[in-house]
Amino acid sequence: MRKVETVDLDAWFGSNHVLHDVSLTARPGSVTAIIGPSGCGKSTLIRCLNRMHEEVRGARVEGKVLFDGTDIYGTDVDPVAVRRRIGMVFQRPNPFPTMSILDNATAGLRLSGERIPRSKLTERGERALRAAGLWDEVKDRLDEPGGRLSGGQQQRLCIARALAVEPEVILLDEPASALDPASTLRIEELVGDLKERYTIVIVTHNMQQAARVSDWTLFMLFGEVVEFGPTEKVFTTPDDKRTEDYVTGRFG
């Protein structure tokens, strides 16, 4: 079973060729980690998976990204529709500062065109906040602005916001790198809970984190895939010498 699959994916920023022939497979019910040193193209790769890459001026993609077998870069595919089914959480928590906690959680729902009654909206917001493990902390102050939460809570609010639109895939771009260790742990536990229902791809520069949360690991260097396989194998008996050097901390 393959939920998301890239085939010979190349990406550019202007004339800067940042991804070379990347092939990645993400399976449902599993977590796929993308690791590698800074600037190796991890974030670019994950941003290609829901067509966020093209939002940067001069950015360009070649190759295919198959989602349930359909190329999301096909000519008749609407990026807006793609992003509704492939959600994303960013490195820095970015709740909408002028919206309340509940409004943040339901922001994506209120976009979707169909009119959802208020009560239904609240219900789905609560469900998303519960799924993100935030409900108990915010249930008494749903009307407060989202920006008033702590960094870790804000990040879980962003996860709730992504979950509320009921995507099938969740992309996490270094979701814990701006957080303290305790909040990081909570996010990691959450990733473990969520993988039963979603296909998860996570970018991280923290190798322990990749080892802890992921089932599959893709190691990149200079925009190329060095090794892709089950996390345990990549971290214990990698095929490539460079992978071994990296995961044992000899460089990076």
Partner 1 sequence: MSEPTVVLGAGAPARVRRSRLIDRGFRGTTLVVGLGLIALLALLLVELTTGAWRTFDRFGLHFFVGTSWNPVAGREAFGALPFIFGSLVTSGVAIVIGVPIAVGLALLLNQVRGAIANPLAVFVDILAAIPSVVYGLWALFVLKPILDSSVEPFLIGTLGKVPAIGAVFHGKAQGPDLFTAGVILAIMILPIVTAVSREVIAVVPRDLREAALALGATRYESVRLAVLPYARSGIVGASMLGLGRALGETIAVSLVVGNTPRIGWSLMDPGATIPSWIASSFREATSVGLHRSALLALAVTLVVMAFILALLSRLLVRRTAELVSGPSANVPVTQGVLPTAG
Residues in contact with partner 1 by the rule CB under 8 A: 50, 52, 55, 57, 80-81, 83-84, 87-88, 90, 92, 94-99, 107-108, 111-112, 145, 147-148, 158, 161-162, 165
Q: Would you say 37 or 151 has its CB closer to partner 1?
A: 151
Tell me how far, at minimum, the Cβ of 87 lies from partner 1, in Å: 7
Q: Would you say 158 or 211 has its CB closer to partner 1?
A: 158
Quickly count helices (H) and strands (E) in the chain: 10, 10
Residue 230 in tokens: 């089950």
Instruction: Give the count of beta carbons closer than 10 Å to the beta carbon of residue 145.
Output: 16
Q: Would you say 110 or 139 has its CB closer to partner 1?
A: 110
Q: Are strands 59-67 and 4-13 parallel, antiparallel or unpaired?
A: antiparallel
Tell me how far, at minimum, the Cβ of 88 lies from partner 1, in Å: 4
Q: Are strands 4-13 and 16-26 parallel, antiparallel or unpaired?
A: antiparallel
Tell me how far, at minimum, the Cβ of 10 lies from partner 1, in Å: 22
Q: Would you say 179 or 247 has its CB closer to partner 1?
A: 179
Tell me how far, at minimum, the Cβ of 65 lies from partner 1, in Å: 15
Tell me how far, at minimum, the Cβ of 91 lies from partner 1, in Å: 9
| Rounded to 5°, angle at Cα 95 from 92 and 98 | 135
Q: Is the C-alpha dihedral spanning 61, 64, 69, 73 positive or negative?
A: positive
Q: Would you say 9 or 162 has its CB closer to partner 1?
A: 162
CA atoms within 13 A on the CB side of 245: 10
Q: Amino acid letter at 58?
A: G
Collect all residues with Cβ–Cβ distance below 8 Å to 16 and sequence separation of at least 6: none
What whole-number distance in Å separates Cα of residue 151 and Cα of residue 112? 28
